[in-house]
Each structure stands twice: as structure tokens, then as C-alpha cells.
Structure 1
Amino acid sequence: MRFKVTLLLPVALLAWGVMPACSGDDDDKPDSGSQDGGSTPTDSGTDAGGNPSDGGTGTATCPSGALICETFENGSSGWDVAHTHSTIEADGTKPHTGTRSLHVVTEDGIDEKQGEGEAIARWMRTIPAFETQLFVRAHVFMKSFPGDQGQMGTYFVLFSDRDSDFGGIELQVIRDTGFALDDWSARAGQGWNRQGPPVTLGMAAGRWVCLEWEVRRPTASSTHGNARVYVDGSLAHDFTDIGMRSFNNFFVGYGFVHPQGPSASETWIDNLVVSRTQRVGCE
């Protein structure tokens, strides 16, 4: 459910000194509800090779005040890369678009019950310490869902590597299309949270999805808050009473910290934005 601390801490420390991808007004503002920048994902299915087909996700602008705006056209410049039993690269395998996206492939047959460890890949960078709100948007194309109900596929991680403020949270998906929130913040009540069942609105495979993650807490010193997940602009679930830290690292990628055997996956991620001023949205 969570990154192994012994592996994660050295990796997180590598990210110190990396600057945000784009600059702007960093002052926190109330969420105005506006949705600027970005583009709408196209539900275009796959080509004969099983790749995202013509149309893709278009291009995304950089909203004012964004901490990260990444279309993956410049490769991994500015990011630290880690992968285990997987590959991750910015490539042009989205057919007919002429653009790059983050392409993640995890190996099949990796089972932690057999002591084989993780099957996961991620790009990482530092961000200014989390205060009261953070908004993440990415366009995601998954070929399939996790093959076992006991394993969770991780998209995003927020993590603090300070000795006095150590802990993190991560957004995941499970086999029944529902989302999960793994809370390893070392706060009271930490643990694994899931959406449903039943799942009324979950993740989709075989098409581009606009995936948003909204993290909030009442004040910059609050120990708990909430984390909402949106699919194509609609609220899928609100995870409440989640442990909060002054998160200063952000990870994006895909894979399984706890693979259970059917660990093969192929995922594309594009048009990533991280902002602390307002929700980014899909249009």
C-alpha cells in the first residue's frame, strides 16, 4: 500500500534542490472554482497495437501560480527517476499525435509473497512545503486495472522527508475501478482508505481520463484534512480525516508497491499540473 521507507527516503533526498517546473504567483488564494489551462482528454480508444489512438490529449497551458506544468516534451529534465521491475520514460508512443507522454510499463509475475519486491516507476521532484491546499491534474490512459484485488496501483504521492515531519499519502486505484488513499502520515488514524463498494464513479481503462487530486487541510498546522478525487471533472470520492504533513515532495508514475503476481501494466500520463492556488480542471 505504501512506499517502503528504507527505499523511499534515499530517493526523496535526491530531489533536494530541484526547482518547480514553472513559476508564478505562489501566494495561497481561496479556491475560486475556476478551471483554467489544460485540455480535454479525447476518448479515442486504442489502435491495432493497443496503444492510445489518434487524438490523444492535446496540449496543456500553464495556469498562473502552478508549481509544476509538465507535458513531458523535454524528457526527464528537472526530475529524479526511480523504477523497480518496470520502465518509465517520456516517449512518443501515443500514435499520430507527435507529442510525448510519460509511459510506464510494469513487469508481470512480480509477487511480494515470493520476496520479489515492488513493480513500480515514478518521477520525483521537490515542491514548496504544503500549507492548506494543493491541486493535481493529469490525463491518464490505462490499458488495464490491477489484476488482483489485493494490490493497488499508485499514481501520485505527496511526501515529507523531514525527520520531524515524516510521512506521506498516495492516490491509488484498485481492481473494481475504485480509488484508494494510502495514508502513512504517522498521524492518528493513519491507514488504508478505499472508495466504496459500491463504486458509483471510478477510474476507466481503455480511454483517456482527466484525473484530479485535491488535497486540503483547514490550516497550515492542521494534522488532518481531506483528499478528493475527480474523474473527467466529476467528484468520484472524498477521503476524509486523512493525516497531513508539510509535504515537500511530489511523485508521479504508476505501479504496485505490493504486487501480487499479475503485475503487468501499461499506462500513459500527460499534461501534468500541480498548483496550490486553484483547481486546474479539464478544459
Structure 2
Amino acid sequence: MDSVAGQGAQMLYRGFTQAELQREYSPGSMVGGDISPYLAAYRALSTEARAGMQVAENLRYGSDPQHVLDYFPAPNPAAGLHVFIHGGYWQALSQRDSAAMAPALHEQGHAFATLNYTLAPDARLGQMLAECLQALCWLGRQAETLGFDPQRVTLSGHSAGAHLVAMVLADHGQALAASGLQVTEAVLISGVYDLEPIALMSVNDKLQLTDAEIDALSPCAAAPRPGFATALPWASATRPSSSARAATMPSICAAPAAMWGFSFSRGCIITISSCTPMSLPRPGERQHALRSNISCLRFAENMSG
């Protein structure tokens, strides 16, 4: 490893030292060190959405107590479905915290589902990926019962959730198709696309990533399957590692542009399919908006884990 002159520090990953990696990948480093107001806002908006909407909570997609999802039906049983996979560095949050986008999606005529999965240290990363795939396939098989069009499905994930969405789409397209689910678009928000730096930081204490897991489960080493559009937005006020993480993804797609579409955006402009620009707000604001196609998803900015 290279030493940083005059500091005695070692560059561990892409020119970052240990201390710099910890800062760059810390969700609180861009918001004064305290991320709790953001998390409280997420939970409050999710609680408000559940109180004002029809929702089927804790639907079981598997045998484990953590294998549950929440489903918000659309007014029209032939509506498309949007599925969100939450972040939290694979060791925090749940589907209970991740329903704030449901009202805007419902207003646009979409059904919405938010997934839960087992967190570290109770599950390894490969198990989490398998659970998310299991949940999506369960949704595909239950489409007629739940009331949505399985051929009109869009996915999004934030941070660790974006990682899980990327890996599902890269490696498991056949399983999704076999369940009847057709993914047309994906939005990967401030995702973790390379696991190598994660293994060098304290966030790995619970994950305990192995070299084999880093190689097999890093989206930057696995291009998504063709046939759908992918957007990779990150916050306007972000650290260099976040934009570097997003930049690794389009570079791995060697297939012709006609096979899939990437948009690559910093800040408030998200371009995917027929979307329009929306603003990413701060805690306390009610319009936490990001638009995928005609669907509004609600998120706050500046979280990276």
C-alpha cells in the first residue's frame, strides 16, 4: 500500500486513507454528524402514509419472520407496480420505515410494495440478495391476487438497497421472468456498487465480507441484463466517493446502447424514460420527490449508507 507523504497514512482504496473512507461512507458526515432527524422524517412520513392509505402489511413471502413485505394496492387492478428495497448498510431499517413514497405513487395510479429482508449479522449478504429475489418472485406469482400488472414493474433501492436491486437484475433475470415478473425500469439511488471499500471500514464489523463475497456480489463487476432503463442518481451535496461509486456502473456496460439505457445524474435532475426533473429536499419538507417514469418516489438526500 502507498504511504501518504508527511502523514504516515496508507491509501487503502482509490487514493482514500482509512480515515477518509470512514468519513466518505458515513451517512452523517454530510449532515453535521447526526442523521437521526432524517431517519425520523422517513419514519414519520411512512407512518402518515400507512394511516391514510389501504395497505396489506407483513405479507409473508417466505418462512422466516423477517420474510415480509407491505403492499399498497392501486385503484386499478391492472396498474403497474413499483417495488422499493430499503438501505441501511444491510444492517438497519426495514420496510416499516420505507413507505413515504406510497401516496405519490398511488396518486399516479401505481401499486407499491416495500420489502423487508434479514439484516446483518443475522444474515450474510448473499442471503439478503436471495431473500429480495424470493420476495420479488412471490410478488410475480401473486400479481392476480394482489391486483397489479406483472409486466409493468419498476424497482428502486437506496444505498444498500440499490446494491441489492442491481445484483437482482444482474444475475437473476431468468428467475424473475419465470415468476411472471417483467422489470422495465430501475432507479439505483446513491448505491454501493463496489464492496471492496466496505470491507475496509467499521461497517464491515457486522457484515464480515469475504474476498469471495466481494468478487461475487459487487455490482460493478456484473452488468445488468438488457431490456430496461436504469438511472443512477446521487445527491447534489455529496462526497467524492458517492459520485465515484455511481460512475463505476455505466463504464461496465459494453453492450450497445440500444440494449439498455443508463442515465447518470448528480443532484436534482433524474433522467430516465419519460421522467421530469424533481427536487431532492431536506428533512421536514413534505415533497421528498424523485420521479421514475410518471411515478413519484419520496426520499431525502445526502444519505450514503
Fold similarity call, TM over 0.5:
no
TM-score in terms of structure 1 length: 0.31
Q: Which has the larger radius of gyration?
A: 2
Higher helix share: 2
TM-score in terms of structure 2 length: 0.29
Higher strand share: 1
Higher RCO (C-alpha 8 Å, min separation 6): 1
